[in-house]
Chains A and B, each alone.
Chain A
Amino acid sequence: MKEVVHQYGVELDWVAGLAAQIGGYVDGNYIRIADEVQQGNRYVLPINDHLTAFIIDVTYRQDVVFKLRNTRSDFVGLYFNLSEGDSIHILNNVSRSAGRWGYNLGIFDADLNGDFQVKSGSTTYMIAIFIKKTALKQYLSGIPQHQQIVESIFNPELNTIVRFDRMSNHAWWLMNELRKSPPAGPLYDVFITGTVYGLIADYLDQLINQEIIIGQVLPEDVGNILSSQAWLITHIETAFPGIQALATEANMSETKYKKLFKKISGISPHAFFLSNKLSCAKEMLETGEFTIGEIADKFGFFDSSHLIEQFKHTFGVTPKEYLSQL
Chain B
Amino acid sequence: MDQERIEFCYHYTLGPEWQHQIVDGIGATLKDNKILTMPENIADGGSIFLEVTPGLSVLLLDMTFKVPVAITRVPTDQNYYMVYFDIGDEITTHIIGNTVHKAGYHAKLGMGFMDCSMKGVIMPPVGQRSYSLRLFIEKGHMKELAASTRDLETNNLLFDESKNTLLFYSHIDSRSKILLSQLKENDFISPSFELKLKSTALYLLGYLVERASRFEPIINKLSHQDIERVFQTSGYLMANLQAEFPGLQKMADMADMSVSKYKGLFKKILKDSPNQFFLNEKLLLAQQFLQSGNFNNVQEVAYELGYSSPNYFAKVYKNMFDTLPGDVLIKQNSSL
Contacts and interface: CB of A to CB of B under 8 A. Distances in A.
B209 A187 contact: yes
A193 interface: yes
A28 B209 CA distance: 23
A29 interface: no
A63 B145 CA distance: 38
Nearest to B148: A185
Contacts of A184: 148
B199 A198 contact: yes
Contacts of A195: 199
18 contacts: A139-B192, A144-B191, A185-B148, A186-B148, A187-B145, A187-B149, A190-B202, A190-B206, A190-B209, A191-B203, A193-B53, A194-B199, A194-B206, A197-B198, A198-B200, A201-B193, A201-B199, A202-B192
B155 to A, nearest CB: 13
B192 A201 contact: yes
Contacts of A191: 202-203, 206
Contacts of A185: 148
B195 interface: yes
Interface residues of A, number: 27
A194 B145 CA distance: 15
A143 interface: yes
Contact of B202 (A139, A170, A197, A208): A197
Interface string A142-174: 111000000000000000000000000010001
Nearest to A185: B148
B7 interface: no
A144 to B, nearest CB: 8
Contact of B145 (A177, A186, A196, A202): A186
A200 interface: yes
B269 interface: no
A205 interface: yes
> Most chain-A Cβ atoms within 10 A of its Cβ — which of B149, B192, B198, B209?
B192
Main secondary structure of the interface of A (DSSP, over half): helix
B123 interface: no
B281 to A, nearest CB: 29
A139 B196 CA distance: 13
Contacts of B200: 194, 198
A241 B46 CA distance: 56
Contacts of B206: 181, 187, 190-191, 194
Nearest to A181: B206
Given A139-B191, A181-B206, A190-B205, A201 B196 contact: yes
A303 B190 CA distance: 44
A271 to B, nearest CB: 25
A43 to B, nearest CB: 15
A76 to B, nearest CB: 15
> Most chain-A Cβ atoms within 10 A of its Cβ — which of B148, B149, B195, B210?
B195
> Most chain-B Cβ atoms within 10 A of its Cβ — which of A47, A170, A197, A208?
A197
A205 B192 contact: yes
Contacts, number: 69
A317 interface: no
A126 to B, nearest CB: 19
A204 interface: yes
A143 B199 CA distance: 19
A198 B196 contact: yes
A208 B145 contact: no
B148 A204 contact: no
Interface in A190-232: 190-191, 193-198, 200-202, 204-205, 208
Given A185-B148, A187-B149, A194 B202 contact: yes
Contacts of B193: 201
A187 B53 contact: no
B40 interface: no
Interface in B169-208: 182, 190-193, 195-196, 198-203, 205-206
Given A186-B144, A187-B210, A190-B145, A204 B202 contact: no
A261 to B, nearest CB: 27
Contacts of A205: 190, 192
B53 A204 contact: no
A142 B145 contact: no
A143 B144 contact: no
Nearest to B189: A142
Contacts of A177: 203
Interface in B125-177: 144-145, 148-149
B195 to A, nearest CB: 4
A181 B52 CA distance: 20
A201 B195 contact: yes
